[in-house]
Structure 1
Amino acid sequence: MAPLPTEVRATAGGPVEFRFERRGDDVLLILHGGHMRAGLALGEEPFAAAGFSVLAPSRPGYGRTPVRSGRTVAAYTDTVRALCADLDVARVAAVVGISGGGPTAVALAARHPDLVERLVLVSAVGPLPWPDRRTRIGGRIVFAPGVEAATWAGIRMLLRARGRRALGSLLSPLSTVRGPAELTDGDAEMLLRLFAAMRSGRGFVRDMRPAPDLCAAVTQPALVVASRTDGGVPFAHAEALVAGLPRAELVESRAAGHFVWCAPDWPAVAGRVAAFGRTPPDQVKAR
């Protein structure tokens, strides 16, 4: 997929690359996962169709957001708060944390409840150790700054040469289901273009560092979307998030792996998220 246009704003916390697609008054602030940046949109179409504005900043080390704009998860939430103020965004209907962006989304909700009305976590890293030791060691080698560009160049070469076979190899570790991923032609094409555009920068190595568990400090209602067959972020993370967040609801995806956006039930799941984003927070029952 061709990257979408982005801007860089100098905030009190440092420069931030972002994409702001203004539509209605309700804003979804999307914190994408590993190897992603503001210019890459994943699964946003249903929210755009529902009239949500989308604000997607690149996390530190990704795209054109430097590490100094958020050397810790907590520090970056302050930078995001400053970006919203600069953009005259006083409230966001929900912060959506995807995969490795989950800890930042939780921290933003916990630290800035005046900004965030709701929390949505999709295939998100929770308070459990992540990733496993083998993945962490390998990730620090192949996605290290100065190496990751060559890694992704090799991946792009493989995708051009082998197409869907290469895609299957990339998706296999992200699912606990054996055998090739069952994808529609449209989803396969989307993922091929997505993987061809991904980069890790300095961000992914940082994503593998432990982050503080702030779940108990989140007062807003939360929706946790996850698949039991996710091999990238095990389902236990979703269970831990639901157990730790005081007002959380679990939505199980039928996806055969990490990419819930490619599941047949994604339109229904996205509809749940959109409806949740417009449900008055005081009408969501606390556990």
Structure 2
Amino acid sequence: MVEGAERATSVVRLEAGLVEYRLERRGPATVVVLHGGHTRAGLVVGEEVFAEAGYTVLAPSRPGYGFTPLSTGTTASGFADVVRSLCDHLGITEVAAVVGTSGGGPTAVTLAARHPDLVQRLILQSAVGWLPWPDRRTLLGAHLAFAARTEGATWSAVRVLMRRAPETGLRLLLSGLTTLPVTEVLARLSPQERAGMVELFCRMRSGHGFLNDLRPTPDLTAEVRQPALIIATRTDGGVPFAHAQSLAGAIPHAELVESRADSHLVWFGADWPEIAPSIRAFLADNPTDGAR
């Protein structure tokens, strides 16, 4: 599975509205993947570990992304209930884990808290928590670059830059995703990793979803009783490591795994091959009665 690859999706009309999703059936156990900002159900990011372990992957587009309108769910709580309805529609009665990536973190936490009978475990990757985020400068920039009238042009410009001057494009986009000097981050990337990042950035869109992600949502971390695995790096320039520390402190049965990745994109980190077995082991463990 290539990072940034595009896969076929389906759209279903539920009681709450239309939902776009990708369902890749493998084994009997299912993992629900809630994507981060600027991505959608059809864009594969960081899922290899689940596919290689034989898990069925269900990836819905969150509100405002892809073909899921902003009106479907809208809030983290609302869309958590939509995901539950989607699982019911697809005949999925139990989820081995819900995975929240970056901006999908709050919805993943909320899904685990609101539907403990469905969700067995929680995995958070470079996830946004409930600390103040983003900073004022980033917030203002987001409202300029990713507003409904501008986000299409923004990503068109990114695609042109990535195709014509990929080094410059990577330098520009990675500058907001790492706390390290960008030259150091680029120097450590293999040609395959560079190509994967270029492909990922070329396929990103924000729709109405990213600005919706910036709205506050109720914090239900203390209500999560399932085991949780939180993966983050201290050099994340997009979501500060303090978010991972806060999530680990607030979720009762949480384990924090510190990645040595150079940026927010932990799947490109040199130690990801070491972290992936920890994810598989976490999924294989039976949740204890006290943690459910």
TM-score relative to the length of structure 1: 0.97
Is 1:95–2:127 an aligned residue pair? no
- Structure 2 equivalent of residue 202 of structure 1: 208
Is 1:15–2:21 an aligned residue pair? no
CA contact (8 A) 1:159 1:166 kept: yes
Distance 2:154 2:95 in 1: 36
Is 1:166–2:184 an aligned residue pair? no
Is 1:226–2:229 an aligned residue pair? no
Is 1:145–2:148 an aligned residue pair? yes
Question: 1:172-197 CA distances to partner (integer Å, 9 max, x unpaired)?
Answer: 11111124222111111011011100
CA contact (8 A) 1:94 1:118 kept: yes
One-letter code of the match for 1:33? Answer: G
- 3-state DSSP of counterpart to 1:205: helix
Distance 2:20 2:154 in 1: 23
Distance 2:113 2:252 in 1: 11
Distance 1:184 1:256 in 2: 13
Is 1:121–2:124 an aligned residue pair? yes
- Structure 1 equivalent of residue 89 of structure 2: 86
Distance 1:281 1:50 in 2: 18
Is 1:242–2:248 an aligned residue pair? yes
- Structure 2 equivalent of residue 211 of structure 1: 217
30, 34, 50: which one aligns with 2:33: 30
> 171-180 or 23-32, which moves further after superposition?
171-180
Unaligned runs of 5+ in 2: none
Distance 1:278 1:88 in 2: 22
- Structure 2 equivalent of residue 154 of structure 1: 157
- Residue 157 of structure 1 and its aligned partner are, at CA, apart by 0.9
Unaligned runs of 5+ in 1: none
Distance 1:53 1:175 in 2: 32
Question: 1:93-151 CA distances to partner (integer Å, 9 max, x unpaired)?
Answer: 00000000000000000001111000000000011011111101110111011210000
- Structure 1 equivalent of residue 192 of structure 2: 186
- Structure 1 equivalent of residue 54 of structure 2: 51
268, 273, 278: which one aligns with 1:267: 273
268, 277, 285: which one aligns with 1:279: 285
- 3-state DSSP of counterpart to 2:229: strand
One-letter code of the match for 1:265? Answer: D
- 3-state DSSP of counterpart to 2:71: helix
- 3-state DSSP of counterpart to 2:189: coil
- How many residue pairs match? The answer is 285
TM-score relative to the length of structure 2: 0.95
